[in-house]
Amino acid sequence: MTMKLLKNLTAMTLALTCLGASAQEATIRKNLGERIPQIQKIDEISKTPMTGLYEVRINGTEIFYTDAEGNFIIQGQLFDTKQRRNLTEERMDKLTAIDFNSLPLKDAFTTVRGNGKRKLAIFADPNCGYCKRFERDLEKVNNITIYTFLYPILSADSAEKSRNIWCAKDRTLSWLDWMLRELPPATASCDTTAITRNLELGRKHKITGTPTLIYADGTRVPGAVNTDQIEKQLAKIR
């Protein structure tokens, strides 16, 4: 068999494979769209490592699984028992990752400890109990630069406290006085459009709870984690 013929056969095989995948995707879209009208728009359909199982992604970051005909739906976690991997979790990590370099750091206040080489961004509400617990653990982490985005989503009082902290002469001190020592921030006023932008940014990235952590490699972690977990994640970043 000549090299030219081999190349032609390879190209034909690839084309037929793509055509088959496209037809399969069309079938799934058609059947799911007709049978489940609530699914207004499917963002992506892709094969999973499990034979006959397809991932369906909607609303940006929501995923579920279906068969090749769209006859059945599975909601839940897909595990690879051989490699001991949670494939759903890995996929969600990729979908929800945020480019750290794209964050508008001017809309956050900065806290530097030690050499500040390691970096972490936090979306936090001043009335969030989990945020307070997280701050106590974060206080034990050294050689880090922390960018705190005030994200008042819990109450009107959250918005008021966020304004007072943002407008304080020393934002970090005001924040830590409240979060660690229960010393309310003094009443203050200034331009708070940065907080408005934070809320818009959070909605864009579907940040629905606090604290939400963004590491320098784009990894996004919702909820309070302890000191060991913070250090472990920071150590992964090169």
pLDDT tens for 143-153 read 999 999 999 99
In the numeric block, which tokens belong to residue 169?
A: 């002469």
Q: Is the pLDDT of residue 7 over 60?
A: no
pLDDT, position 8: 52
- Distance between CA 32 and CA 75 in Å, rounded? 14
Cis peptide before 184 (omega within 30 of 0): no
Which one of 53-67, 86-100, 159-173, 210-224 scores highest in mean pLDDT?
159-173
Q: Is the pLDDT of residue 1 over 60?
A: no
Q: Is the separation of the CB atoms in 14 and 6 below 8 Å?
A: no
pLDDT, position 2: 59
pLDDT, position 37: 87
Q: Is the pLDDT of residue 54 over 80?
A: yes
Average pLDDT for 193-217: 95
pLDDT, position 12: 47
pLDDT, position 94: 84
pLDDT, position 137: 96
